[in-house]
Amino acid sequence: MPVSKIEGDLAPNFIKQTTLNKFCPSIPEPEVPSVERELNQEKAHEFDNQYSIRLELDGTVEIEETHCYNCHRRLVYNGYNERIAFLDKGLGRYEFRLHRKRCPVCGEINPDYSAFFPKYGTYHENYKRRARQNYMEELMPSQIAKVFQVDFDLKIARSTIVYWINEIQEEIRYLLATTPIPSSGYWGYDEIHLRISGERMYAIDTIDVNTGFVPIARISSEMGRDAGREVLMEGRKNL
């Protein structure tokens, strides 16, 4: 269907053939050179880690190579990218400038910058680890933000900390599920009287007398031998 000028103006969509089969005659011819270029760029990524980088005194990170490893053409400069990195253990906030280079055929050169800053990130991996560990120690994200402020003079948004914690939850689940319960086989047993919304209840706890680990804790409406036995048997099942 031919596209009239007014339709073309109203719908500023750039139409491009994605395959070499010409199904729709009104769409322009596929650009063969661009397919070639895309394949070339994919192949060029295999060489990303081979490029060496150098830090200049003014904070500019330069790519040392002058020629493309994939097609051996001369690289051209491609402007600057500003990057901020928060270094490990409160060593400060640094501003870098990446001097980008581009191959006329293979496109942007993406060397491994991880010596300066993590991929796609600003904060050193250590901050993420600390945030997750603090969370496991029962600190809430807003409290963890205060810890970073006090320890490292670093203001990290609460939402960033929540994101870091959520990022790891699948792995933590797996880790906890496959970690054996630290039990020595000698358990103590305790009943605590509670009053929950006016009703008398009991917290039945077991505690490993050697490791201090609590294998199981239950709130029960009954106490005594039978309720205790039930809790202990359930704890044994988890071993």
Q: Which residues bind Zn ion (CB under 5 A)?
A: 68, 70-71, 103, 105-106
Closest to Zn ion by CB, 42 vs 171, is 42
Phi, psi of 209, deg, nearest 5:
-70, -20
CA–CA gap between residue 163 and residue 165 (Å, rounded): 5
Closest to Zn ion by CB, 69 vs 116, is 69
What's the closest the beta carbon of residue 74 comes to Zn ion, in angstroms?
A: 9
CA neighbours within 13 Å on the CB side: how many for 58? 6
- Closest by CA to 110, choosing from 41, 65, 45, is 45
What's the closest the beta carbon of residue 104 comes to Zn ion, in angstroms?
A: 7
What's the closest the beta carbon of residue 112 comes to Zn ion, in angstroms?
A: 18
CA–CA gap between residue 63 and residue 95 (Å, rounded): 17
Q: Which two tokens stand for residue 161?
A: 């900390």
Q: How many CB atoms lie within 10 A of CB 225?
A: 7
Which position has the token pair 């097609």? 71
What's the closest the beta carbon of residue 103 comes to Zn ion, in angstroms?
A: 3
Closest to Zn ion by CB, 105 vs 201, is 105
Closest to Zn ion by CB, 102 vs 218, is 102
